[in-house]
Amino acid sequence: MPLKKVYGVGVGPGDRELITLKALRVLKEVNKVFVPISKLGRRSLAYEIIKDFIKDKHIEELLFPMVKDKNKLKSYWDEALRKILKEDGEVAIVTIGDPTLYSTFSYLWKLLKENGVEVEVINGVSSIFASAKALNMPLVEGDEKLCILPQGKDLYKYIDEFDTIIVMKTKNLKECLKDIMNRDDILIGLVKKASFNDEKVFFGKIKDAKFEEFNDYLSMAIIKKVKE
């Protein structure tokens, strides 16, 4: 039986209980579960979330290092694709959060579709919502406008126009937020590892933030204008 279907399974932001019934069912039914790792020997966060649910399941790692060189990166995608195309029946690739929002899965999704493979995404709870929950406040309500600016791209342009801005996908939030460092009319929430046991939170004026405590890829900033 050749490869029939690939599931891209979102396993939620970190808290194991935030996995959906559908993700669990699919992970139990497939022949193999692929887990992404960023470095050989490093544990996969997505795997940590699911491991107790799928004991005795065939697991295989896919290496996606955080390199900027597009050709180098492409060689890793191609290698992952080769591994997946060798499988039989249905397999799953897990991803932290949701597979449609800045997920490493999106590149594989495209490659698999180009190769005529059926792909089904299983949505998951995103870390942007887990971060708002950690800050004990809504992300947006009513007719408020929200934007997500990876690495704070063009932050200076949008800070006065959007009610809520999310900056994520960076190890250096302080550098990304430098344009608004002196603003007294905004409040900033910083969240590291939202929903994990060792979650860390700051909420207040940007000048009081200890950025050095929020300096990994699982940190994000939620920026809000102070309303009159």
Contacts with a copy of itself, residue ranges (CB under 8 A): 10, 12-13, 15-22, 24-25, 98-103, 106-107, 109, 113, 119, 121, 123-126, 129-130, 132-133, 136-151, 153-154, 157, 161-162, 169, 195
Bridge partners (DSSP) listed for residue 122 = 9
Structure tokens given for 61? 């790692």
Q: Which is nearer to a copy of itself, 13 or 36 (CB)?
A: 13
Q: How far is the CB of 10 from a copy of itself (least distance, A)?
A: 8
Q: How far is the CB of 41 from a copy of itself (least distance, A)?
A: 26
Among the listed residues 83, 141, 145, the one whose alpha carbon sits nearest the alpha carbon of residue 112: 83
Among the listed residues 72, 71, 84, 4, the one whose alpha carbon sits nearest the alpha carbon of residue 36: 84
Q: How far is the CB of 131 from a copy of itself (least distance, A)?
A: 9
Angle between helical axes of 105-114 and 70-85 (0-180°, round to 10)? 60
Q: How far is the CB of 93 from a copy of itself (least distance, A)?
A: 14
Contact (CB, 8 A) for 62 and 88: no
Q: Which is nearer to a copy of itself, 154 or 213 (CB)?
A: 154
